[in-house]
């Protein structure tokens, strides 16, 4: 999908807003098709399947269904498949990027989102095939082109990972 289509998917979804009460406005959920219209990531690096519970100015929840067919399980680890922590952080970042582009109407055409740093990352429990990651993301600071976030990844209501991170929207070099 080209960049113009990415923008139009996000804009089209924003037109279907449920309420107009300002900062905590509830927005429609994003399907995998919507996410692919916003993010440039594709298999095997697309780490979020759906984004739900989206509120403008509040945050969102990314959903990643972890299956045994994930390519990283072949080598991490064959005797005990565990989702790499760095990919859990990537799922957090993708949820944050899609949320920001969608909820804030950020034009990402021709631009890339880059990590600026990851702080306070902690991994509490392993994530294994059959788990559903629910990634709770909130914006803690917003000064475009820089955003800061906090995220918690949960499986069955239990904390599996958490981190704070920053990202910047920039022109590719």
Asked if 153 contacts 126 with a C-beta cutoff of 8 angstroms, the reply is no
pTM above the 0.85 mark?
yes
* Span 98-153, pLDDT tens digits: 999 999 998 888 888 899 999 999 999 999 999 999 999 999 999 999 999 999 99
Residue 7's pLDDT band (boundaries 50, 70, 90)? very low
Asked if 83 contacts 119 with a C-beta cutoff of 8 angstroms, the reply is no
Cα separation, 23 vs 87, whole angstroms: 30
Judge: domain 3-170, CATH 3.10.129.10: yes
Tell me the catalytic residues: 76
Kind of pairing between the strands at 132-143 and 26-27: unpaired
Point out the least confidently predicted range of 1-5, 32-36, 154-158, 160-164. Answer: 1-5
Alpha carbon distances (Å) from 108 to 47, 112, 127: 19, 7, 31
Closest CA to 98 of 132, 143, 64: 64
| Domain boundaries of the chain, sorted by first residue | 3-170
* Span 9-57, pLDDT tens digits: 555 554 444 445 556 899 999 999 999 999 999 999 999 999 999 999 8
**DSSP β-bridge partners for residue 138:** 150
Q: Looking at residue 172, what is its pLDDT?
A: 87
Cα separation, 93 vs 127, whole angstroms: 17
The span from the first CA to the last CA of the chain, in angstroms, equals 22
Closest CA to 86 of 59, 118, 60, 61: 118
């Amino acid at each position: 999908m080209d960049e113009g289509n990415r923008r139009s998917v996000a804009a089209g979804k924003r037109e279907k807003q449920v309420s107009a009460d300002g900062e905590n406005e509830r927005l429609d959920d994003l399907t995998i098709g919507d996410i692919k219209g916003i993010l440039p990531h594709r298999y095997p690096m697309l780490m979020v399947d759906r984004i739900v519970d989206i509120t403008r100015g509040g945050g969102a929840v990314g959903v990643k269904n972890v299956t045994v067919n994930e390519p990283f399980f072949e080598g991490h680890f064959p005797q005990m498949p565990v989702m790499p922590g760095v990919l859990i952080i990537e799922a957090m970042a993708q949820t944050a990027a899609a949320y920001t582009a969608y909820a804030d109407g950020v034009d990402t055409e021709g631009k890339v989102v880059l990590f600026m740093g990851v702080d306070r990352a902690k991994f509490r429990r392993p994530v294994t095939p059959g788990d559903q990651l629910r990634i709770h993301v909130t914006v803690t600071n917003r000064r475009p082109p820089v955003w800061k976030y906090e995220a918690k990844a949960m499986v069955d209501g239990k904390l599996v990972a958490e981190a704070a991170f920053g990202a910047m929207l920039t022109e590719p070099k």
